[in-house]
Amino acid sequence: MAETLRLGGRLTLQVHDLAAGGEAVGRVDNFVVFVPYGTPGDELEVEITELRKNFARARIHKILKPSIRRVEPPCSIYFQCGGCQLQHIDYDSQLHFKTKTVKDSLRHLAGLGEVKVHPCKRMDDPWFYRNKVQAVVAAKPFLKGEQEKTAKFRPYIGLYAAGSHRVVKMDECLIQDKVNNKVLQATREILERLQWPVYDERDGSGLIRYLVARSSRSTGEAILVVVAAQPRLPQVQEFLNFLKRRVPKLKGVLLNLNPHQTNVVLGNRTQLLWGQDHLVEEVQGLKFHISPTSFFQVNTQGLSVLYDVLDDYADLKGRESVLDLYCGVGSLALFLARKARRVVGVDVSQPAIEDAVVNSDLNETVNATFQAGPVERLLPQMYRDGMRFQLAIVDPPRKGCDIDTLKTLAKMRIPKLIYVSCNPSTLARDLGILADLGYRTHEIQPLDMFPHTHHVECVARLTEVGLKGK
């Protein structure tokens, strides 16, 4: 019972499960206690840090008996950063718990416990996989007596600790592409040398706010976006020359202007300072022109695995018209266009659609077209115009689909749907709605696109079975 617990109190806890967000779960007299960095099978001494009516949270004070699934995380800042949640659990167990998360979401949130969920597909290499990083530039005073006469602050680069604006210094991220790490390390060195003022979110003063690095797995090249509060950088040529010498694979540097006191990383204006303003990635023979701000799957290796599942689930014969909603730069649409009669892609982002058109030309794809605009507006218009499709791919952001979008898909009587999702909770919700609209979910394949984090990608295969009684 909650009344037997108190803030700051310590107790012995047996951990038996993981929650969807990666926290471990234990119980005290059937009262749930969540523990970050716990592992199923652990016996822990924990200290209560939060007490609510229906649950408590605690931190680990001492590991009394470690689980056989517990491993030593290789990252030196793992317990401070918060970017990963599962490095302390062996990789096979991570995959097991992600599969279980999908099953639990279907059963508890949508009543679809009968749906076949395949074991989560592993990545061949679960390290250094992310092709994009957004890092915070922060500042700290020099140590007493160290360059006191010439400088007041030393810039450093890091990530926000989970649930805070405290920046954790990062020298290397073990899930980031190695060239992205090199770009950030070199940028920190030149920022320290040039002593550009770091942005202070408290009063809006300073210059440098964030660094965004993107890389191409197929070429090994990278580009850097410097996010600043002012439209000009001092000593910019010295800055560029240093980066070019230190990171030969860096092919372009851009300046993004964000003068607003906001948590949003990127502003609306981006200018090229040097080199090229995009990267080219290649996956299973498809080439992609990727702009700094456009969405592209962060795990290039994982995208290839996703293609294999998509090919199996779509089972295209060459006669089908395919609709790709939330298509981004066309990564799924252009793959499907190889076997479909035609593909139509829709995305709200104008820059992403521009990249999709470029990618279509880059791959000499003549049977794919793309439209920019909100799915919620364009899909009903397609329905009114009499456009019909044999397959629809739905790959929405984490919040899932608008209910009117799902209703419109059902009105269009599209025989087959494939729902791609990075959020099992909203996936389950939307599959439950689609079940009420006459669609049956046959199977789901989880993919470990985000190793060592609690996130999991899912691909669901549905067919129209019609409404009962109609």
> Taking the CB of residue 354, how many other CB atoms lie within 10 A of it?
16
The catalytically annotated residue of 120, 173, 327, 422 is 422
265 CB burial (10 A radius; 0-12, 13-18, 19+): middle
Q: Strands 208-215, 167-169: parallel, antiparallel or unpaired by DSSP?
A: unpaired
Tokens 């049956």 appear where? 440
Task: Give Cβ neighbours of residue 396 (< 8 Å, ≥ 6 apart).
Answer: 325, 326, 375, 421, 426
In angstroms, rounded to a whole number, what is the distance separating the alpha carbons of residues 227 and 225?
6
* 401 catalytically annotated: no
- Three-state SS for the chain is CHHHCCCCCEEEEEEEEECCCCCEEEEECCEEEEECCCCCCCEEEEEEEEECCCEEEEEEEEEEECCCCECCCCCCCHHHHCCCCCCCECHHHHHHHHHHHHHHHHHHHHCCCCCEECCCECCCCCCCCECEEEEEEEEEECCCCCCCCCCCEEEEEEEECCCCCCEEECCCCCCECHHHHHHHHHHHHHHHHHCCCECECCCCECCEEEEEEEECCCCCCEEEEEEECCCCCCCHHHHHHHHHHHCCCEEEEEEEECCCCCCCCCCCEEEEEEECCCEEEEECCEEEEECCCCCCCCEHHHHHHHHHHHHHHHCCCCCCEEEEECCCCCHHHHHHHCCCCEEEEEECCHHHHHHHHHHHHHCCCCCEEEEECCHHHHHHHHHHCCCCCCEEEECCCCCCCCHHHHHHHHHCCCCEEEEEECCHHHHHHHHHHHHHCCEEEEEEEEECCCCCCCCCEEEEEEEECCCCCC
CA distance 180 to 188: 12
**What residues are annotated to the active site?**
422
